[in-house]
């Protein structure tokens, strides 16, 4: 009864300027990511209410030579039926999804995927997490249950803000949209007008 988030939210997608132009100027849609290491499974990714983090992400991609010119696309999102890992009900599903995946791998005599960690303990390639979430989606489909429209998760990433802090430089909420009809519209983010207060 309480799985539907009640309102529209704003998401931001960091990308190359060419993608920005296709979406904003040519009225095309973003394409879903289908990498084995996607943090929240396959779908279209947004930083929830976090323009700065979306920009930083695109800047990091430019520094790695993955994009030419940094841009950010804004989106109005209705998360619909959301696999929300901020909600205890859905966190339990992760364990069940893991157990299903573990049994699948055992039956097929293959190794479980694993998450790859960097020296600072942050996992950037989340093959195991992605496989578990995808297995949850597959289970729903196999059993004729309603498909999740989106997935939402909180991530604690980056250096500690101060010694022994639970807060980190890149903490964020990430959204993975599976049902493209959850995206109600795209927009080009504006800079604030200093003549007015921000409501």
CA distance 49 to 5: 15
- Would the pLDDT of 41 be above 60? yes
pLDDT bracket for residue 171 (50, 70, 90): confident
pLDDT bracket for residue 179 (50, 70, 90): very high
Mean pLDDT of 155-181: 88
Per-residue pLDDT, 82:
95
38 backbone dihedrals φ, ψ, rounded to 5°: -60, 135
Contacts of 168 (CB under 8 A, 6+ apart): 156, 157, 158, 159, 160, 161
Closest CA to 49 of 4, 94, 7: 7
Chain mean pLDDT for the chain: 91
Tokens of 159: 């250096």
CA dihedral 157, 92, 177, 82 (to 10 degrees): -120
State the SS3 of the chain.
CCCECCCCEEEEEEEEHHHHHHHHHCCCCCCCECCCCCECECEEEEEECCHHHHHHHHHHHHHCCCCCCEEEEEEEECCCEEEECCCHHHHHHHHHHHHHHHHHHHHHCCCCCCEEECCCCCEEEEHHHHHHHHHHHHHHHHCCCCCCCEEEEEECCCCECCCCCCCECCCEEEEEECCHHHEEEEECCCCCCCCCCCC
Q: Does the predicted model carry a pTM greater than 0.85?
A: yes
At 90-139, the pLDDT tens digits run 999 999 999 999 999 999 999 999 988 765 555 578 999 999 999 999 99
Per-residue pLDDT, 1:
47
Tokens of 93: 């599903």
- Would the pLDDT of 5 be above 80? no
Express as a percent the part of the chain with pLDDT over 90: 75
pLDDT bracket for residue 161 (50, 70, 90): confident
User: What is the DSSP pairing of strand 115-117 with strand 123-126?
Assistant: antiparallel
At 64-82, the pLDDT tens digits run 999 999 999 999 999 999 9
Mean pLDDT of 31-57: 96
CA dihedral 62, 68, 74, 79 (to 10 degrees): -70
Helices 88-108 & 127-142 angle (0-180, nearest 10): 90
């Amino acid at each position: 009864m309480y799985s539907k988030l009640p309102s529209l939210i704003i998401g931001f997608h960091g990308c190359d300027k060419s993608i920005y132009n296709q979406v904003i100027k040519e009225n095309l849609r973003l394409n879903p990511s289908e990498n084995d290491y996607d943090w929240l499974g396959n779908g279209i990714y947004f930083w929830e209410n976090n323009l700065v983090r979306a920009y930083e992400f695109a800047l990091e991609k430019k520094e790695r030579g993955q994009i030419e010119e940094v841009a950010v696309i804004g989106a109005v999102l209705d998360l619909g039926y959301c696999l929300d890992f901020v909600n205890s009900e859905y966190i339990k599903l992760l364990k069940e999804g893991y157990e299903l995946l573990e049994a699948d791998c055992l039956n097929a005599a293959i190794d479980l995927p694993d998450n790859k960690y960097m020296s600072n303990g942050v996992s950037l390639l989340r093959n195991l997490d992605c496989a578990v979430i995808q297995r949850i989606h597959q289970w729903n489909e196999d059993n004729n249950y309603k498909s999740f429209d989106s997935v939402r998760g909180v991530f604690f990433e980056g250096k500690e803000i101060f010694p022994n802090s639970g807060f980190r430089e890149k903490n964020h909420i990430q959204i993975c949209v599976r049902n493209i009809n959850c995206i109600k519209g795209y927009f080009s983010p504006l800079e604030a007008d200093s003549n007015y207060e921000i409501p």
